[in-house]
Amino acid sequence: MEEILIFFYTYKEAIFIIALSIFLGIEVISNVPAVLHTPLMSGANAISGVIIIGGIILVGHADASRINTELILGIFAVIFGTLNVVGGFVVTDRMLEMFKKKKK
Amino acid sequence: MDKILGTFNGVEFTVGGTLLELSYLVAALLFVVGLKLLSHPESARRGNFYAGAGMVLAMLTTILLHKNADGGGIQPANVWIILAAIGVGSAIGWIIARKVKMTAMPQLVSFYNATGGAASALVALLEFPNADMSNWGSVLVTLLGLIIGAIAFSGSMVAYGKLDGKVNDIRAGYLSYINLILLAGTLALALFILLSGQTPTELNWAIYLLLAVSLLYGVLFVMPIGGADMPVVISLLNSFTGIAAAMAGFIYNNQAMILGGILVGAAGSILTLLMCKAMNRSLLNVIIGAFGGGDAATQGEQGTMKEITMSDASVLLAYSRNVVIIPGYGLAVAQAQHVCHELDELLVSKGVNVRYAIHPVAGRMPGHMNVLLAEADVPYDQLVEMADINPDMPSTDVCIVIGANDVVNPAAINDPSSPIAGMPIIKAHESKNIIVMKRGRGKGYAGIENSLFFDDKTRLLFGDAKSTLQKLVNEIKDL
């Protein structure tokens, strides 16, 4: 029991952010028309590429003077994260571009 | 940048560190505003741009300003490595995203989701050796990031394979038991790592085993789920990736990652439920995979499919007043959306009122069909949603069903024992005539017989949707 309290206290800011973000995520999405489900899923997917920051921090502080597992896997994490970010946003834009075109 | 501004909770903070946190705040706000704008048609594109800008900002400031615990910045050599990796990822991501056909959109989203999951799993794997084993909270988030990221990765890859037709469904009943055992094993292993009291080095074997088991679970979790349910699964896995990213945010105590990840996790979960609702199915139902298989006991009484000649079809269409086109995934696969638009323009020029009936889950993803028809320049006002067009069905002269099956299957209304019972459908069977374009005599994606095809009012045109439509267009032009 005490350990749970310690956990809560240590991470209280993060836990507040999580609790509020959950409501924010639900609020922001509700009432979205079915037409936008696919682009929205794709756009949200791109945002989850925020993990790229973790990859950058990892590689940024890795030992770059010699080849090692941490460096190699970290580089892969950055490449994968970028794929998620760039691919996700570009694909979403491509989908939305079409909706735009026909509105003219 | 290194100037010390003051101390907070006993830790000194610098100008750079403060600016970094400030940029994360701006990025997080851009994510929220972006997602909000993305959910309205007029502002969606702008929203996507905002979210993208937030991401670029967070990436740049991290590279420039991030310091590790000892206050060391990122060395120039590492900066170049990072930039090279970002360059490679951007180039590949950009090219694939630009080149891929619109029909392949769902599997592409799934693929990108897989890369996000992989990145999360890798970050957690690499951070594990630095974990402070006495602080079980930090170990827990690392393990969760690893497990969820790995499941999102392997699950999304299987979903990608299925949508791309490279992986077949395995629908064995025992799979759900294996999955339960695997899930229990994964959790037990995680619990062991958490409570063993050993150092990360001693637990090296366990963390790799945990990765392997999680990957396997992801594969087997998606394996039995039918292809028609794939969008729901992708959306679910998408929310997993978000949660995994948020777990990594915990490791770095990075608010932008936590907020972005949880935002996607929550939005993805709601989107998943919305999609389930559109198909009138529960999430549990989707995951257990009740779809398909259902042997059509009524097969013998279905009667025969009646074909129609091109010339008869063209005359029927050209002299109708109201025509409704019901496009399905078959249209998309055949890349027939452009010819289809040609047909509708031709009919409109002959004074026919042509409309498209869009089922919420037509195509392979909700809204996918709208994207595909938009690509072919079909005007917005010709696309009518299911609920709005169904009342007009009895007064419709001809319904053209192109490569759609389950979304027009009357069994959803008439047969309570059907696996799709209760799913909302477009009531094509109520119109005066129905022309069905089908590749062959096979069943639809859900694997169930469709009595519409055997209806007395129904006539079939077999063949690839694109060439069939092309022939039909030529025939009508010659009238």
Cβ <8 Å between B81 and A71: yes
Q: Which tens digits make up the pLDDT trace of B236-257?
A: 999 999 999 999 998 898 989 9
Cβ <8 Å between B66 and A102: no
Reference B322, options B288, B357, B359; nearest CA is: B357
With cut-offs at 50, 70 and 90, classify the pLDDT of residue A104. very low
Q: Using CA atoms, how far apart are residues B21 and B29, in angstroms rounded to an integer?
A: 12
Test mutation, B123, B156, B262, chain A, max A CBs within 10 A: B123
Cβ atoms of A78 and B82 closer than 8 Å: yes
User: B352-387: string of b/e by CB count within 10 Å (b at 16+)?
Assistant: bebbbbbbbbbbbbbbbbbbbbbbbebeeebbbbbe
Q: Using CA atoms, how far apart are residues B257 and B248, in angstroms rounded to an integer?
A: 7
| Cα-based torsion angle of the residue sequence B421, B427, B428, B432 in order, rounded to the nearest 10 degrees | 130
Rama region for B383: left / alpha / beta (φ>0; ψ in -120 to 50; rest): beta
Query: H-helix or E-strand containing B37?
Result: helix B15-38
Q: Which tens digits make up the pLDDT trace of A20-73?
A: 989 988 888 877 777 788 888 899 999 999 999 999 999 999 988 888 989 999
Backbone phi, psi, residue B417, to 5°: -90, -5
Number of residues in chain A = 104
Asked if residue B185 has pLDDT above 90, the reply is yes
Q: Report the helix count and the strand count for chain B, using DSSP H and E.
A: 17, 8
Cβ <8 Å between B250 and A91: no
B 194-233 near A (Cβ less than 8 A): none
Cβ <8 Å between A54 and B249: yes
Q: Which tens digits make up the pLDDT trace of B186-232?
A: 999 999 999 888 888 888 899 999 999 999 999 998 888 876 678 88
Q: Using CA atoms, how far apart are residues B368 and B180, in angstroms rounded to an integer?
A: 33
B 240-259 near A (Cβ less than 8 A): 241-242, 244-246, 248-259
Structure tokens at B244: 């995994």
Cβ atoms of B330 and B298 closer than 8 Å: no
Is A66's Cβ below 8 Å from some Cβ in B?
Answer: no
Backbone phi, psi, residue B384, to 5°: -120, 135
Q: Which tens digits make up the pLDDT trace of B358-379?
A: 887 777 777 778 888 888 888 8
Structure tokens at B109: 């989203």
Confirm whether the ipTM is greater than 0.90. Answer: yes
With cut-offs at 50, 70 and 90, classify the pLDDT of residue B296. very low
CA A52: distance to chain centroid? Answer: 8
Q: Using CA atoms, how far apart are residues A99 and B47, in angstroms rounded to an integer?
A: 14
User: B262-299: string of b/e by CB count within 10 Å (b at 16+)?
Assistant: bbbbbbbbbbbbbbbebbebebebbbebebbebebeee
Asked if residue B294 has pLDDT above 60, the reply is no
Q: Using CA atoms, how far apart are residues B101 and B82, in angstroms rounded to an integer?
A: 30
Domains of chain B (ranges; CATH) run 102-291 (no CATH), 297-477 (3.40.50.1220)
User: B64-89: string of b/e by CB count within 10 Å (b at 16+)?
Assistant: ebbbeeeeebbeeebbebbeebbeeb
Q: Using CA atoms, how far apart are residues B196 and B199, in angstroms rounded to an integer?
A: 9
Q: Using CA atoms, how far apart are residues B193 and B199, in angstroms rounded to an integer?
A: 9
Query: H-helix or E-strand containing B207?
Result: helix B204-222
Asked if residue B416 has pLDDT above 60, the reply is yes
Strands annotated E in B328-468: 353-358, 383-385, 398-402, 433-438, 458-462
Reference A88, options B241, B221, B222, B362; nearest CA is: B241
Strand partners, B307: B460
Q: Using CA atoms, how far apart are residues A24 and B25, in angstroms rounded to an integer?
A: 15
Is B89's Cβ below 8 Å from some Cβ in A?
Answer: yes
- Residues of B carrying an active site annotation: 406
Strand partners, B384: B357
Tell me how close the Cα of A88 comes to any Cα of chain B, in angstroms. 6
Q: Which of B34, B123, B262 is closest, CB to CB, to A77? A: B123
Strand partners, B356: B325, B383
Structure tokens at B56: 């670029």
pTM: 0.84
Sign of the four-CA dihedral B279, B117, B107, B374: positive
Enumerate the residues of chain A whose CB falls inside 8 A of the CB of residue B248: 51, 54
Asked if residue B442 has pLDDT above 80, the reply is no
Chains A and B: how many Cβ contacts under 8 Å? 370
Enumerate the residues of chain B whose CB falls inside 8 A of the CB of residue A25: 35, 262-267, 269-270
Q: Which of B35, B63, B102 is closest, CB to CB, to A44? A: B35
Q: Which of B59, B278, B365 is closest, CB to CB, to A56? A: B59
Cβ <8 Å between A39 and B48: yes
